[in-house]
Structure 1
Amino acid sequence: MSLARLAGGSRLARLLAGGELHRQPERKNSACLHSTMPPCDFVPEKYESYPYEDMLKIRRQYVSPSLVPYYKKPLLLHQGHMQWLFDHEGRRYLDLFSGIATVGVGHCHPKVTAAAQKQLGRLWHTASVYMHPAFQEYAKKLTSLLPDQLKVIYLTNSGSEANDLAMILARLYTSNFDIIGFRGGYHGNSPYTMGMTAIGNYKHGLHNGFGCQTTMLPDVFNGPWGGSQCRDSPVQTIRKCSCSSGSCHAKDCYIEQFKDTLATCVPKKIAGFIAEPIQGVNGAVQYPVGFLKEAFELVRERGGVCIADEVQTGFGRTGSHFWGFEGHGVVPDIVTMAKAIGNGFPMAAVITTAEIAGSLAQGVPFNTFGGNPVACVVGSAVLDAIEEDGLQKNCKVVGTHLLQKLAKLRDEFEIVGDVRGKGLMIGVQMVKDKESRQPLPAEEISEIFEDCKDMGVLFGKGGIYFQTIRIKPPMCITREDADFAVDVFHAALTRHKERRAATK
């Protein structure tokens, strides 16, 4: 039976049955969609590796089964250009997940690619026991973008390593041990950071987390308190707000919970507190305005240092500021960063004060590839591209436009519970219904994902129950791209609604 007949002959089903929506992206496809896929002048090379079925066999035999692909028929990606990805058959997709917020300035950005190619012909690697220009130049360039006291840098290969080192620094500097984080936070999957990561799917039942405590997440949509005036976003939750002028009731209540954690779960002196300015893996969860500032003060009163995990929020993605912590009006003691720092090249950084960095000198800290010449040149080119291409401003303009359009879908569809975020860091939480706020079943979200992919748009998943659509695209996407993505999402939601109606 055809897909069109299965769905009652809907226009969307006929569109999906032929798969023409992304094969011929420049053509007006159907009255179901109000926009076509924006044009792209880039022509991918012909795919000449293993056939698709052979690739599947190799993956099943040699790749860890824990690495589960998103789609029923996994995508075999071949090439990328800015906000676009191309599969082995030449089909084009608008990438709204960018390798989990990693490809910041665009796939194979010409400036970054050229810088890497030039350095590869000069010097691939030398350890930090020697000097080379790229390391020193990049250290100065990157630290100049942070507050004056944050001027000492340590380069690593991943966000997990960076957060691992930040936890070590906090403990060495304060001579205390306990560290606090939020439930729903994701800080890595190394033995140290797994203790701070508070999403059950990323736990492995192994010994971890000694000295790590989590506190209630100040989530104004899912938590017990919150409403329509609580978060720093162009789109607020639809919950009614109990805030009065000049104060936030939700913030005050969550601060009391934070104080309770300090009073009951940790000693009088602690090593620190780690938080993402906006939670990433948990689905762009934002805290009430003013919460992080008060929490930092409480931590410092206990002798602890404050760590900002900028792995996903950094490098202009939130639009209003270059770093996520700036939007909260705070200055951390330690900042960690990764992902967009190298536009997909494996690198990360920890930046802190001279005093805190000095505590590490009692031993011999060493990272073989931290400060690699190619990584430093790539990182420098990324910073140039962000500035020259106006990507922070683009995040604010296009991100606000996208958030506002998604909010209209929330008003139209019962299963769209919350739309939140800043800039191009966006979460769309899917629910059974707005009253219960219970997560939409995973199989239903997967069907929506499949439909969006078939129409040429790739989203991400997040949240405790993978109930949130994560939108973290390359920061170069346009308003036209955003309009197309929303139109595709609208079509997929419409089809979901038809499926529900057909089963009643």
Structure 2
Amino acid sequence: MQRALKRAFSGRSSLRKHRCFSASLLKNNDDILLPKMPPFDYSPPPYNGPSAAEIFQKRREYLSSSMLHSYEKHLNLVDGKMQYLFDEDGRRYLDAFGGIATVSCGHCHPDVVEAIVNQTKRLQHSPVLFLHHAITDFAEALASKLPGDLKVCFFTNSGTEANELAMMIARLYSGNHDIISLRNGYHGNAPGTMGTTALSGWKFNVVQSGVHHALNPDQYRGVFGSDGEKYAKDLQGLIEYGTTGKVAGFIAEAIQGVGGIIELAPGYLPAVYNSIRKAGGLCIADEVQSGFARTGSHFWGFEAHGVAPDIVTMAKGIGNGIPIGAVVTTPEIAQVLTQRSYFNTFGGNPVCTAGGLAVLRVIEREKLQENAFVVGSYLKERLTSLKEKYDIIGDVRGRGLMLGVELVTDRQEKTPAKVETIHFMDQMKENGVLIGKGGFFGNVIRITPPLCFTKEDAGISLLLALNFSSKEA
């Protein structure tokens, strides 16, 4: 590696720009200077369980081979505390992926753990057939974070289930069937949500009817660049030519997570919401990944676009890792479910809702939205400066602690750097930082850490990124 670094800083390093990141942190004797993790007042207890190899062997035998796993060398995570994770050998990793934008407060946050444990000791399960204060306390607190008359909550077990329910409500309320979603969007893997998902790698050959996919207002790869109103005209044409002229609803993420941290073009959502409502439909904001203060500038992703949805769906950050989701809408719209019996055995479980309330309180008390804005803005600015130096970075985007870095082998052609992205993830892991990837081509680095992520953590991530791929430099 040292020979590669010397090459990087000899003739080839004199180029104004580099195809990929090179190691730029050297001591005088040319030894690599890797940043150290900051001090942390926690050491996990010794792990005496099965090894990564043993677990992977059982996984191959007893779990579906369709289940994805990250990294060439399998990682067995056994402990977590705040923004850190620990493997079977006690090695500490900086978690810059947050369990796929799920861990909001931090791994095993003491307040959230205490709320879950205390409720579990008293009553582990009670369906909504009976009264319990945990569900109503959480629903009241959740409603206080939403605008207007969005205050009736339905609790689910996941984001997929929340989006399924939201689409059913839209169809019942409007009396129409057609749903419009965006290309490149992801909304779940059940039959209904799979229909609205528009990423071929996540779709099976099953019946997915009544869904139309509009052009994605992608400011980097989209045909209209950042002109949101032109994309909105495409959707209006879709209503006029692809439907009866009446629709049930429109569902979209304010920032597409699985699709590669795509922030919708400005001006798009206000125009589209207007078109959808004129066509008799409801506007659904999928906040499964962008909600709960992750974007920093706002508590919900849709707020950055100046719109008010009719239905909001949420999961992931709502529970800091607890399996819980929710649909929130207005009393008038919620009334449609009284036409029949709607029931969810585990929706509103007291343990999950007690944990969810604790999450909301931690976000507010520890000012995690403000932290996401400050740290995220700093990290995005630094990543953007790297883009000016390294040609492999095609785009830096996102808000707060929901950031994406798209890697390309050719900036003009925007050729996806698929292999390089996988290598980058592995190298970062080997150096102690866990990140994710996404995008249609699998070439977007996804940075969605716990909201307690600090500037020091961000700095370590950036320094390690500079040591990436010295062999190719």
TM-score range, shorter chain: over 0.9
Deviations 1:232-274 (A, max 9, x none): xxxxxxxxxxxxxxxxxx2232122222212211211100000
The answer to whether 1:301 aligns with 2:300 is no
**1:473 and 2:449 are equivalent in the alignment:** yes
Output the CA distance in 2 between the equivalents of 1:33 and 1:281. Answer: 34
What amino acid sits opposite 1:477 in the alignment?
Answer: F
1:152 — aligned with what?
Answer: 152
Partner secondary structure for residue 219 of structure 1: coil
Preserved CA contact (<8 Å) 1:33 1:487: no
Distance 1:42 1:460, change over 3 A: same
Structure 1 CA distance for aligned equivalents of residues 139 and 222 of structure 2: 40
User: Counterpart in 1 of 2:14?
Assistant: none
Give 1:192-271 correspondences, 5 Å limit: 192-207=192-207, 209-226=208-225, 230=226, 250-271=227-248
Displacement, 1:8?
7.0
Partner of 1:141: 141
The offset of 1:139, in angstroms, is: 1.1
C-alpha distance in 2, partners of 1:9/1:455? 20
User: 1:243: which partner in 2?
Assistant: none
Please, which of 389, 395, 406 is the counterpart of residue 366 of structure 2?
Answer: 389
Aligned 8 A contact 1:11 1:32 in 2: no
Say whether 1:406 aligns with 2:405.
no
> Which residue is 1:244 aligned to?
none
Distance 2:65 2:352 in 1: 30
CA deviation digits over 1:75-118, x for unaligned, max 9?
00010000000000111111011110000000000100111111
1:4 deviates by 5.8
SS in 2 for 1:223: coil
Q: Is the 8 A contact 2:229 2:271 kept in 1?
A: no
8 Å CA contact 2:112–2:359 kept in 1: the answer is yes
Query: Does the 8 A contact of 1:448 with 1:496 survive in 2?
Result: no
**Aligned match of 1:88:** 88
Maintained 8 Å contact 2:285/2:313 = yes
Q: Matches of 1:344 and 1:276 in 2, distance apart? A: 20
Q: 2:126–2:350: 8 Å Cα contact kept in structure 1?
A: yes
Change in 2 beyond 3 A, CA 1:479/1:180:
same
Query: Could you say which residue in structure 2 is the equivalent of 1:22?
Result: none
Cα pair distance change 1:8/1:383, threshold 3 Å: closer
1:206-251 deviation digits (Å, cap 9, x = unpaired): 22x200110000111111222xxx4xxxxxxxxxxxxxxxxxxx22
CA distance in structure 2 between the aligned counterparts of 1:85 and 1:41, rounded to whole angstroms = 13
Calculate percent identity across the aligned residue pairs. Answer: 47
SS at match of 1:481: helix
Amino acid aligned to 2:452 = C
In the alignment, is the contact (CA less than 8 A) between 1:278 and 1:285 conserved in 2?
yes
2:407–2:443 Cα contact (<8 Å) kept: yes
The correspondence of residues 83-482 of structure 1 with structure 2, limited to 5 A, is 83-207=83-207, 209-226=208-225, 230=226, 250-440=227-417, 442-482=418-458
Deviation at 1:438, TM superposition (A): 1.4
One-letter identity of the residue aligned with 1:410: K
Aligned to 2:263, the other structure's residue is in SS state coil
Deviations 1:389-423 (A, max 9, x none): 11000000000000000011111111110000110
Which of residues 483, 488, 503 is equivalent to 2:459? 483
Deviation at 1:174, TM superposition (A): 0.4
Residues of 2 paired with 1:307 and 1:60: CA distance?
A: 38
Contact 2:2-2:31 within 8 A present in 1 as well? no
CA distance in structure 1 between the partners assigned to 2:29 and 2:247 by the alignment: 59
Q: Counterparts of 1:100 and 1:90 in 2: how far apart (Å)?
A: 22
What's the TM-score once normalised by structure 2's chain length? 0.93
Instruction: Quote how far apart the aligned CAs of 1:474 are.
Output: 0.2
Counterparts of 1:167 and 1:10, CA distance in 2: 56
Q: 1: distance between equivalents of 2:358 and 2:432?
A: 29
Partner of 1:497: 472
DSSP-derived class of the 2:426 partner: helix
Long gaps (5+) in structure 2: 10-27
Compute the RMSD of aligned alpha carbons. Answer: 1.9
Measure the CA separation in 1 of the matches of 2:63 and 2:247: 41
- CA contact 1:33–1:491 (8 Å) conserved in 2: no
Residues of 2 paired with 1:51 and 1:462: CA distance? 28
Cα deviation code 1:267-306 (max 9, x no counterpart): 1110000010111111110122111011100100100000
Is the CA contact (8 Å cut-off) linking 1:347 and 1:375 kept in structure 2? yes
- Counterparts of 1:8-27 in structure 2 under 5 Å? none
Structure number with higher relative contact order (C-alpha < 8 Å, ≥ 6 residues apart): 2
Answer whether contact 2:51 2:76 (CA < 8 A) is retained.
Answer: no
Aligned to 2:13: none
Letter in structure 2 aligned against 1:473: P
Residues 15-34 of structure 1 deviation map (CA, whole Å, 9 limit, x = unaligned): xxxxxxxxxxxxx9986447
AA aligned opposite 1:437: K
Structure 2 counterpart of 1:215, one-letter code: A
Shift of 1:148: 2.9
Letter in 2 for 1:495: S
Please list the CA deviations of residues 481-500 of structure 1 after superposition, one character each: whole Å capped at 9, or x if unmatched.
001001111211x52532xx
Distance 1:137 1:61 in 2: 43
The TM-score with structure 1 as length reference comes to 0.88
Aligned to 1:73: 73
- Whole-Å separation in 2 of the counterparts to 1:42 and 1:119: 25
Question: After alignment, is 272-281 or 443-452 more displaced?
Answer: 443-452
